[in-house]
Structure 1
């Protein structure tokens, strides 16, 4: 992993209206194995709300990475992580339809556009 990926990322407050489709931006391109659809991934991540910049979740705050199958995650992660390589850091801006659904859908983040910065640590 590159030195830049050894610490919790900072997300600059976005300007302008939230995008209506998934935005994928590679911050650092990894050089390891590539994540494929349906893979199990080990990641560190930070999530913030687009509108407020408020952090709502972070594996960094828990002091350990997390591993899970992509197929069990929100659609924005299922579509946004494949193609990443181990050692990479990617920023995903995810509209509500690919996150937790429209406002009133029953999740505290329903109706919100979300930004995640994800460090890919492992793939199997």
Structure 2
């Protein structure tokens, strides 16, 4: 079962249940089940007006989260008996909070990016009273969650990479890191310039995801990722170096094709010409 809850749930209570029986009211039973779980596990949880229980281990120091936010989350979901429902504890998942179960839409707003804790979700804020795609009707769901702050994690990843590879990188105000091996002596590009650049792009594990030939490729600087629009302007014609690009200046939390969400990208670049 993979990322089961990443669905719009307005249909849960109308037409997507596994049976057509009248909905049962599990609220009282769910409340007792959650209260017992909290007591048995020595947890200090807060109850909201909706019946959601939550525990804040770390509130987080990143961006605030609203009901319409895009967020990236590492999580483990399980039942009160400990059986795992679903989990993604590596790169996590990136979602919009309007597209998940109500318990997530509400619960994640108690955190900021970088925060972590637990959500204990009664069935009326999860999958409802009937069976749904393998989840028994009336189930209480528990999620250990970590809201990813990509700005912080990407910067740490870049600094670790630079240190491990003896790079003397400069950080700009946007969070881009760059290394100038050769500044170049020709024309210096502007944000709107058409340029020709030879490059190799790879991840911090040195896996290459894209590479030009020695002649490079031509493009307008205002039509590429922000890390390139900014970074290539630090060179003149004939210049070469390295761009270490955080995901906020590349493909963001959702990624693109072969680029995972939240990925740091590194480019060896050689500015062949400003056209």
User: Normalising TM by the smaller chain, what interval?
Assistant: 0.7 to 0.9
1:29 Cα deviation after fit: 1.5
Give the alignment's TM-score, normalised by structure 2: 0.36
Q: Select the residue among 152, 158, 179 that pairs with 1:19.
A: 158
Q: Which one has the bigger helix percentage?
A: 2
How far does the alpha carbon of each residue in 1:51-83 deviate from its partner, in whole angstroms, 9 at most, with x for none?
x110111103xx541000011100100111113
Higher relative contact order (Cα pairs below 8 Å, separated by 6+ residues): 1
Residue 57 of structure 1 corresponds to 210
Contact 2:197 2:272 in 1 (8 A): yes
Contact 1:100 1:107 in 2 (8 A): no
Contact 1:18 1:95 in 2 (8 A): no
How has the CA–CA distance of structure 1 residues 115 and 71 changed in structure 2, closer, same or farther, with 3 Å as cutoff?
A: same
How has the CA–CA distance of structure 1 residues 107 and 94 changed in structure 2, closer, same or farther, with 3 Å as cutoff?
A: same
Q: Select the residue among 109, 119, 123 that pairs with 2:270.
A: 119
How far apart, CA to CA, are the structure 1 residues paired with 2:256 and 2:202?
19
Is 1:73 matched up with 2:224?
A: yes
Structure 1 runs of 4+ aligned residues shifted over 3 Å read: 104-107
Is 1:39 matched up with 2:193?
A: yes
The size of the alignment, in residue pairs, is: 105
Contact 2:209 2:258 in 1 (8 A): no
**Structure 1: gaps of 5 or more residues:** 1-15
How far apart, CA to CA, are the structure 1 residues paired with 2:189 and 2:256?
30
How far apart, CA to CA, are the structure 2 residues paired with 1:106 and 1:86?
30
Give the alignment's TM-score, normalised by structure 1: 0.77
How far apart, CA to CA, are the structure 1 residues paired with 2:274 and 2:248?
26
